[in-house]
């Protein structure tokens, strides 16, 4: 026999069937309940108690719930984890409905389509990414529904797509194939590999007609976009609309972003350089945390985007630098601009919320404040007279559109601080709308008349404690305590008995209550009408507000970078197409901030593709090798994003890609050994490095045996020098590598210096020419607190090793004494074989210039035979 489900559970089932991939938040009274698999999934995630509905009955189901007024926090958490949530609401007031309350899904929230400020990071874009995979390339669209920005690009293959996606850090991905029936398991697998926490939604077929229907008028100014790009944009839009059919997401335009015009920063390099995320998870150790001194949210988002996508075009870089330089030179202008910008609210997101009809009165108030502050900011800059400066600031002869009439209208309409919810306070200024004022007067008048009535009734009955009160459920009533109830006139009608007394009504009260209710309803209707008229005006101005916001964001970024330059003494880099990367007295932007004032030691570096292009950097642990490597890469990132750099002087021949492999990686969790990860990352670097690239390698080969490690490090360095010919900084603990400089004119040895004073190491952090003289390992070990007995034994062993004798005199404590091994690591592993010597001698005697290839081959065969 089929189990009979209750009507409520049938409603739930219907909601779940309509949104099978969403967690259904099912409204039951004051709670949102989750049932069945949703409850089982969410209870541990949200730290809720898993209970059950219909306990002990055949239709018992797991259940977990959250109070509706606290739902935001739980929803935010689930969105953060990548889940989709369907809100199933009660569509009528339960107190007015007989039988079961109708319920339906009113809203689907997903990480990539929410627009509520509390679910969005203010200083980051929230990308919903459309991906369209076709045989001849991959279209990618980045859509931020909260700011109406949509841009698209085409990538040649999945690998390059992944790398771009990593940088964008999407909140949600919509993936579809151009060809029907294509197998996408490899793509989803790859996505899962690089973005394990990002939800990927599968999208079905998409015809050309559908694309143009979805994009509508957007296609008009997107004519130079390829089909793959248009399809990707259409996928993102279609998904957003499907999640929220009743929300018409505005889109400003479809812009094109061009990965080929950007400095390539691989995901590995991005992580290692801690551009926007730190390896440790601490916030203030990223480059972004140091240079983000923007005043507005839109500015912060723009700066972040620029940091992750620096430019290649010298002309464009210089243009950005010009703007920064202008604000560095004009301290007063900068200060006034920043003062105005500090009051500019998140115009882009507010305009979108207004155009979705979701702006609260408070949002509209913020929009007003933001627009007025924007006007002040524009005024500050429009005072600039110098023609060149005006061009740098992108100020034409036409005045900047500050959406004045909307700002004025909002200023006229709204009170100083409008409430978040209309019912919770006054929204409009008195005098703004006659009809609203009238309804307001009626409401207030009604309330006054109630007070009057209360006074009169007290007098006529002689009950001093008589009260005229209102509750939402019971409406207006007169309340008299039980002991006084006998004084009540007979014609009063008793309504209700409560603990505190008796409640009555009478025709005069009912009349008045009716008038008040009417006036309130009229007031409410009028207020909502006026609000939506205002929102409509904001909606109509959405694009203009967006354009204004974009302009302000650019000024914000330029003036913020100028502020950084001024505050921390950064200088304008000379950026050109040349081969040289020269930094004079350069510092690490983050380490110098964390170091005590004045303690950071600046260094000079000069890499030249045509000259010394590969530096082998040696020096003791903790001397500052990694810091040096990173500071060079960071200077390139900063310069090419259009920022000044932490150096006295900098010349940067544009770099096409920053490739890095630094320190141990954190992929261990995925079951790969450190060495495997290291080699995989190194392989990527060798594959991608071009003559224009900057490669920084730290401690290659550490994860394996010394011979293997040295051999690999050596071969990698040779390859970078001879084949890739790129600018490279190669930090290593293999001193043997310093011999490379003898065989290649493009390799130089440098070291980060330290001094040993009475067995203690003192780091000077200064980069000097030539290899490090010794490793100071024992001294560092002492610093780290190794016991004295171990240290003195290590010193003795070290002496023996350096002298080439492998048998130190003094023996260690304990048993190891008897079995002191051969310690010279680079002595041959096997006893000398006479045949090996013979072969070696033969090879040494060969005159290669005089041999034909055939001679060489036959000699090789003979040598091989001899060895066997």
**250: DSSP letter:** -
Q: Which is nearer to ligand ADP, 198 or 621 (CB)?
A: 621
Residue 266 CA to residue 166 CA, distance in Å, equals 9
Which residues are registered as beta bridge partners of 143? 128, 150
Spatial distance between the Cα atoms of 459 and 469, rounded to a whole number of angstroms = 17
Q: Output 140 or 586, the one with its CB closest to ligand ADP.
A: 586
Q: How far is the CB of 772 from ligand ADP (least distance, A)?
A: 10
Which residue, 601 or 652, is less far from ligand ADP as judged by CB? 601
Cβ proximity to ligand ADP, 519 vs 697, nearer residue: 697
| Residue placing its CB nearer to ligand ADP in the complex, 327 or 600 | 600
Q: Find the shortest distance in angstroms from Cβ 735 to ligand ADP.
A: 14
**CB 668 to ligand ADP: min, Å:** 20
C-beta closer to ligand ADP: residue 515 or 571: 571
Integer distance in angstroms from the first to the last C-alpha of the chain? 82
Question: DSSP per residue over 378-428, as a string?
Answer: HHHHHT---HHHHHHTT--SSPP---HHHHHHHHHHB-SS--SSGGGS--B
Nearest distance, CB of residue 765 and ligand ADP, angstroms? 3
Per DSSP, what are the bridge partners of residue 31?
28, 67
Q: Residue 368 or residue 765: which is nearer to ligand ADP going by CB?
A: 765
**Who's near 91: CB < 8 A, 6+ residues apart?**
101, 102, 103, 104, 106
Non-local (6+) Cβ contacts of 713 within 8 A are 700, 701, 730, 732, 734, 737
Distances 683 to 69, 127, 504, 679 between C-alpha atoms, Å = 53, 30, 86, 6
- 129: phi then psi, degrees, rounded to nearest 5: -110, 125
Task: Judge whether 157 and 137 are in contact, CB under 8 Å.
Answer: yes
Q: Which residues pair with 605 in a beta bridge?
A: 583
Q: Based on CB atoms, which residue is closest to ligand ADP, 595 or 768?
A: 595
Question: Nearer to ligand ADP by C-beta: 372 or 696?
Answer: 696
Task: State which residue, 264 or 602, has the beta carbon closest to ligand ADP.
Answer: 602
Tokens 């620096």, residue?
310
The contact set with ligand ADP (CB under 6 A) reads 591, 595, 599-601, 619, 621-627, 765
| Alpha helix positions (H), 541-619 | 542-568, 589-594
Closest contact distance (angstroms) between CB of 710 and ligand ADP is 18
Q: Which of 308, 270, 316, 272 is nearest to 292 (CA)?
A: 308
Centre a 10 Å sphere on the Cβ of residue 275 and count the other Cβ atoms it contains: 23
Q: How far apart are CA 291 and CA 300, in angstroms?
A: 10
Q: How far is the CB of 619 from ligand ADP (least distance, A)?
A: 6
CB of 730 to ligand ADP, least distance (A): 13
Comparison of 344 and 767: residue with beta carbon closer to ligand ADP: 767
Whole-number Å distance between alpha carbons of 557 and 299: 6
- Residue 409 or 699: which CB sits closer to ligand ADP? 699
Residue-wise DSSP of 424-472: GS--BPTTS-HHHHHHHHHHHHHHHHHHHHHHHHHHHH--TT-EEEEET
Rounded CA-CA distance 133/803 in Å is 63
Say how far apart CA 136 and CA 124 lie, in whole Å: 32
Q: How far is the CB of 716 from ligand ADP (least distance, A)?
A: 18
Beta carbon of residue 288, minimum distance to ligand ADP (angstroms, whole number): 19
Smallest separation (angstroms) from ligand ADP to the CB of 780: 9
What the block records as the tokens of 602 is 């600046």
The residues with which 575 forms a beta bridge, in sequence order, are: 652
Nearer to ligand ADP, 626 or 665 (CB): 626
Q: What six digits make up the tokens of 371?
A: 């627009």
Q: Which residue is nearest to ligand ADP (CB)?
A: 624
Rounded-to-integer distance, Cα 825 and Cα 775, Å: 15
Nearest to 155 by CA among 228, 230, 236: 228
**Separation CA 96–CA 587 (nearest Å):** 70
Q: With respect to ligand ADP, which residue has the nearer C-beta, 365 or 624?
A: 624
Q: Which residues contact 13 (CB under 8 A, 6 or more apart)?
A: 5
Report, in Å, the least distance between residue 286 CB and ligand ADP.
15
Angle between helices 347-355 and 542-568 (to 10 degrees): 160
Question: Minimum CB separation from ligand ADP for residue 731, in Å?
Answer: 6
**Between residues 624 and 653, which has the closer beta carbon with respect to ligand ADP?**
624
CB-wise, 428 or 600, nearer to ligand ADP? 600
Asked whether the beta carbons of 867 and 839 are under 8 A apart, the reply is yes
CA distances from 359 to 93, 237, 246, 712 (A): 24, 21, 15, 60
Minimum CB–partner distance for residue 625 and ligand ADP (Å): 3
* Nearer CB in complex with ligand ADP: 14/783: 783
Residue 623 DSSP class = S
Q: Provide the minimum distance between the beta carbon of 660 and ligand ADP in the complex, in angstroms, as a whole number.
A: 13
- Minimum Å gap between C-beta 588 and ligand ADP is 7
Q: Between 518 and 735, name the residue whose CB sits nearer to ligand ADP.
A: 735
Give 3-state DSSP helix, strand, coil % of the chain, rounded to 5: 50, 20, 35
Distances (CA, A) of 48 to 52, 64, 66: 12, 7, 8
Q: Closest distance between ligand ADP and the C-beta of residue 111, in Å?
A: 36
How near is the Cβ of 594 to ligand ADP at its closest, in Å?
7
Rounded to the nearest whole angstrom, what is the least distance from the CB of residue 597 to ligand ADP in the complex? 12
């Amino acid at each position: 026999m089929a189990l009979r489900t209750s009507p409520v559970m049938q409603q739930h089932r219907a909601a779940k069937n309509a949104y099978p991939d969403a967690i259904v938040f099912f409204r039951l009274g004051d709670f949102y309940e989750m049932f069945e698999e949703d409850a089982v999934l969410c209870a541990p995630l949200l730290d809720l108690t898993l209970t059950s509905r219909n306990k002990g009955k055949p239709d018992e189901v797991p259940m977990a719930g959250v109070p509706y007024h606290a739902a935001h926090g739980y929803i935010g958490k689930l969105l953060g984890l990548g889940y989709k949530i369907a809100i199933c609401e009660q569509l009528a007031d339960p107190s007015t409905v007989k039988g079961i309350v109708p319920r339906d899904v009113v809203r689907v929230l997903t990480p990539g389509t929410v627009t509520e400020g509390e679910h969005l990071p203010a200083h980051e874009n929230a990308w919903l990414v459309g991906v369209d995979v076709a045989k001849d390339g991959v279209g990618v669209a980045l859509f931020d529904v909260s700011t109406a920005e949509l841009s698209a690009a085409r990538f040649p293959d999945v690998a390059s797509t992944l790398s771009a996606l990593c940088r964008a850090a999407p909140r949600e991905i919509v993936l579809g194939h151009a060809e029907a029936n294509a197998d996408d398991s490899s793509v989803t697998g790859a996505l899962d590999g690089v973005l394990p926490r990002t939800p990927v939604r599968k999208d079905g077929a998409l015809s050309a007609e559908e694309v143009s229907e979805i994009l509508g008028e957007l296609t008009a100014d997107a004519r130079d976009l390829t089909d793959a790009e248009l399809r990707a944009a259409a996928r993102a839009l279609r998904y957003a609309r499907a999640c929220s059919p009743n929300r018409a997401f505005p889109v400003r335009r479809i812009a094109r972003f061009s990965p080929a015009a950007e400095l390539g920063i691989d995901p590995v390099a991005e992580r290692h350089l801690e551009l926007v995320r730190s390896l440790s998870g601490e916030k203030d150790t990223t480059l972004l945390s140091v240079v983000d001194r923007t005043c507005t949210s839109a500015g912060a988002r723009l700066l972040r985007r620029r940091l992750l996508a620096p430019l290649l075009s010298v002309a464009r870089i210089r243009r950005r630098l010009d703007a920064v330089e202008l604000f560095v030179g004009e301290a007063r202008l900068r200060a006034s601009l920043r003062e105005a910008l500090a009051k500019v609210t998140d115009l882009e997101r507010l305009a979108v919320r207004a155009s979705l009809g979701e702006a609260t009165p408070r949002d509209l108030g913020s929009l007003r404040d933001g627009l007025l502050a924007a006007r002040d900011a524009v005024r500050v800059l429009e005072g600039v007279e110098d023609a060149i400066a005006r061009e740098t600031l992108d100020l034409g002869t036409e005045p900047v559109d500050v959406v004045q009439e909307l700002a004025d209208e909002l200023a006229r309409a709204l009170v100083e601080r409008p409430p978040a919810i209309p019912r919770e306070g006054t929204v409009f200024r008195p005098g703004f709308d006659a009809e609203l004022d009238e309804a307001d007067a009626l409401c207030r008048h009604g309330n006054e008349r109630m007070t009057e009535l209360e006074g009169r009734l007290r007098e006529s009955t002689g009950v001093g404690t008589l009260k005229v009160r209102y509750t939402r459920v019971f409406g207006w009533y007169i309340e008299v305590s039980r002991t006084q109830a006998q004084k009540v006139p007979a014609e009063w009608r008793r309504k209700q008995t409560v603990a505190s007394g008796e409640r009555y009504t009478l025709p005069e009260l009912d009349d008045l209550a009716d008038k008040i209710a009417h006036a309130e309803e009229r007031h409410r209707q009028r207020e909502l009408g006026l609000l939506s008229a205002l929102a409509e005006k904001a909606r109509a101005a959405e694009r203009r507000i967006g354009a204004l916001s974009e302009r302000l964001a650019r000024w914000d970024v330029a003036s913020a970078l100028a502020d950084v330059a001024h505050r921390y003494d950064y200088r304008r880099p000379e950026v050109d197409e040349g081969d040289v990367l020269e930094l004079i007295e350069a510092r690490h932007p983050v380490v110098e901030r964390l170091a005590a004032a004045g303690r950071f030691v600046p260094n000079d570096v000069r890499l030249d593709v045509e000259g010394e292009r590969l530096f082998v950097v040696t020096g003791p642990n903790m001397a500052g090798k990694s810091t040096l490597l990173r500071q060079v890469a960071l200077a390139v990132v900063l310069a090419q994003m259009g920022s000044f750099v932490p150096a006295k002087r900098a010349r940067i021949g544009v770099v096409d890609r920053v490739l890095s492999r630094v320190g141990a990686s954190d992929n261990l969790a995925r079951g790969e050994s450190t060495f495997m990860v290291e080699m995989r990352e190194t392989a990527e670097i060798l594959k991608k490095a071009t003559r224009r690239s900057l490669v920084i390698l730290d401690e290659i080969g550490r994860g394996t045996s010394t011979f293997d490690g040295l051999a690999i490090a050596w071969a990698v360095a040779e390859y970078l020098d001879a084949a890739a010919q790129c600018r490279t900084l190669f930090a290593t603990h293999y001193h043997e590598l310093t011999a490379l400089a003898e065989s290649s004119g493009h390799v130089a040895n440098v070291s980060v210096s330290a001094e040993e004073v009475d067995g203690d190491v003192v780091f000077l952090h200064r980069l000097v020419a030539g290899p490090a003289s010794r490793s100071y390992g024992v001294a560092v070990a002492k610093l780290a607190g190794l016991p004295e007995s171990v240290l003195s034994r290590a010193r003795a062993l070290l002496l023996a090793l350096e002298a080439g004798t492998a048998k130190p005199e003094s023996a260690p404590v304990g048993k190891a004494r008897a079995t002191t091994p051969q310690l010279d690591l680079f002595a041959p592993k096997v006893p000398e074989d006479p045949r090996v010597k013979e072969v070696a001698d033969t090879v040494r005697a060969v005159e290669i210039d005089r041999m034909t290839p055939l001679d060489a081959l036959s000699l090789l065969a003979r040598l091989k035979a001899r060895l066997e």
